[in-house]
Each structure stands twice: as structure tokens, then as C-alpha cells.
A = this chain, B = another copy of it.
Amino acid sequence: MPLRENRQVRLVARPRGIPQAEHFSLVTKPASAPGKGEILVRNRYLSVDPAQRGWANDEGNYSAPVPLNTPMRALAVGEILESNAPEFRAGEFVYGWFGWQTHCVAAPDAVLRRAQPSALPLSANLSLLGINGLTAYLAFHGLGDPKPGEHVLVSTAAGSVGSFVGQLAHIAGCRAVGLTGSAEKAALAQARYGYQAMINYRDSTDLPAAIREACPEGNDIFFDNTGGAIADAAIRTMRLRGRIIQCGTAANASWTPVPTGPRPEREILTRRLRWSGFIIFDHIAEFEAAATRLTEFALDGKIVHDEEILPGLEHAPGAIAQLYRGDNHGKLIIAVD
């Protein structure tokens, strides 16, 4: 068996807030061989996701923090080089928890789904067909219950999830309005992501008024990735029996202590709202069907997916901070050289 080098990006210091390049270190070591029941995956593309901030921190979260001096937890797509698991064979492409490294020895349950070769590029398994596209599809349809003619408001509308929500809303016959943090992104979202109007919240001195103006008839669905002041204003535009989908809380960098805001309970009551939290990993059993549908949309030209691919593992340490600065164009992905 040839000696293989495994290059890893390890978390070496515990960040408070957004992980920066100095919290990571590049380490090269010999790749392990797969044990009984395991597979060896050669990663091709690594995902950069907002949730990695929470995984690197050790504040209470919905998954355990990444142990120090181990490869950063990440989704990736790669090829199976060796398989000791009966359900996989060498040469198959898979999408799963393979971390920020070139090679990963994994148990079969680290695989979220097979990355079937299609007319779409392999990297699409981390964007349209990865947790971003899957979140948009499963949260919007599963919790949003959209009906033709309904009005949809989306925060971080030009982001890795929001860019798909606008398109899915358009496909569902809804009117979508989005929020984003720059004029450039607003123009992009309106041109490419299905939004009929966009609000640049950094450009607005009166956000509630800007939202009311862009959504004069109110909203049936609020797809929220931010929480905070945007959510406060958006909730107050909801129509009767509106649905709020909480997919992220990016507006607040820290939840210790818990920040305060205007109480929502009277809005929930009088407008009969339904406010639900969505975490994609509750829905793994639905991934295959959703990916099939999203692939059809893409091949039919109904949905576009934009990716910014960083060339090489050495770009990983600064990538989460780059994501939170918001200066990427499309889903941020690291190509493994």
C-alpha cells in the first residue's frame, strides 16, 4: 500500500465568537488505513459553513464542540479510495462528515448521501445539493407550506441558503423579497435568485419602514437566518397565520448573556403565527428525494447555484471569518489540491 500523506487543518485554539486563521494549524501526517467496516475517502471539495462558528466554540450548542488538535469538523465531498464497508465500494463519490483534510477514514454513518455523478459539477454536492440547498428546500417546503401567490421575506437572501430560497419561492409561485448587506448583493439577488425586491439593511436608517415599504401586503412566510433587529421588524409584517422559519441566528455574535429584544408573544397570538426552528441534520432521511428534485430544477434551468471556490487547503483557516465578513460570492468552498 502506498504511503499517503494526509494534510489536515486542525483547530488548535478555542475561539470566542468567530474563528480566525490563528485558531487553526496545517498539519501533515501519514494517512490512516481504513479498519474493519470503514472507508477511506479522498476529499475533493470542503465546505465552509456558518455553523462551524458554533462547532469551534464551546458554548452550549446543538452539537458537541470540535476537540482541540483535531481536524475542523466540516462537510466534504470525495471519492472512496478503499472500502471495508459492504455498502460502499472504491470509486464511489460520497458527501459527508469528512472534515477539513485531504484524507478521511470514516464509518459508514459519516456519509450523508452518495454524490451521484450527474451533469452538475461535483462541487454542487456542497452547495445546491449540500446542506445549503437541502436546507432551503426542506425548510421552505417542510415548515413554510408555501402556496402560490403568497408573500415571502428572506434574511441573508444572497447567502448560501437564501440564494436558493428566493428561487424556490419563485418556482412555488410566491413573491419573494430579500434582505442583504450590500447594494451589490441586492442587485445580484434580484437578478439571479428569484427576488422581486431587495432591501439593503446596511443602507437603511429605518429598517421596519424599509421592510413595510418592500412588503406592502405583509408576508406569509419569513425565512430567517439572522434573528435580531431584522426578525423584530419582519415579525411585525406577518399576515394572519404566517409561518416563521428560524434557520439561523447570525445577527447575534454571542448569546452569553442572552440579548434582549421586543417581546414576540403578542404577535404570535394575535396573528396566529407559527414559528419553527429548523436544523438540517434532523432531515437526513429526506436528503435523497430533495437532492433529486433540486437536480431536476437545475437541469431544467429553473435554479442557479453560485460558488466561490478557494484553491487549496491553505485557504481553509481564514475561510470562516471570510464567510462572516460576507464578501464571498456564492457558496464558499475549498478545493482540495
- A interface residues with partner B (beta carbon < 8 Å): 60-62, 224, 227-228, 231, 246-249, 252, 255, 258-266, 268-279, 282
Residues of B within 8 A of A282 (CB): 272
A-B contact pairs, 23 of them (CB 8 A): A62-B270, A227-B266, A228-B263, A228-B265, A231-B265, A246-B265, A247-B269, A252-B266, A258-B262, A259-B263, A260-B261, A260-B262, A261-B261, A261-B263, A268-B277, A270-B279, A272-B277, A272-B278, A272-B279, A273-B275, A273-B276, A273-B277, A275-B276
User: Contact at B274–A274, with CB atoms within 8 Å?
Assistant: yes
Give min CB distance, A58 to chain B, whole Å: 15
- How far is it, in angstroms, between the C-alpha of A259 and the C-alpha of B263 when the chains are bound? 6
Kindly list chain B residues whose C-beta atoms are within 8 Å of the C-beta of A274: 274-277
- Chain B residues, CB < 8 A from A231: 265
Copies of this chain held together in the complex = 2
What CA separation (Å) do A209 and B230 show in the bound complex?
32
CB distance from A160 to the nearest CB of B (A): 17
Q: Which residues of B contact A275 (CB under 8 A)?
A: 268, 273-276
Evaluate contact between A262 and B259: CB separation under 8 angstroms: yes
How distant is the Cα of A263 from the Cα of B229 in the complex, in angstroms?
Answer: 10
Contacts of A277 in B (CB 8 A): 268-274
A50: min CB distance to chain B, Å = 12
A269–B248 CB distance below 8 A: yes
Interface pair B263/A252, CB less than 8 Å apart:
yes
Say which residue of B263, B268, B273 sits within 8 Å of A260 (CB atoms).
Answer: B263
Residues from chain B with Cβ under 8 Å of A247 in the complex: 269
Residue of B nearest to A275 (CB): B275
Q: Which of A246, A255, A259, A261 has the most CB of B within 10 A?
A: A246
Q: A269-B278, A272-B277 are in contact. List 6 more A-B contacts (CB 8 A).
A: A249-B265, A249-B266, A260-B260, A272-B278, A273-B277, A274-B277
From B258, B269, B279, contact of A249 by CB (8 A): B269
**A272–B274 alpha-carbon span in the complex (Å):** 12
The distance in angstroms between the C-alpha atoms of A277 and B240, with both chains bound, is: 10
Q: Which 10 A-B pairs have the closest CB atoms?
A: A227-B265, A258-B262, A269-B277, A268-B277, A275-B275, A272-B277, A62-B270, A246-B269, A246-B268, A274-B276
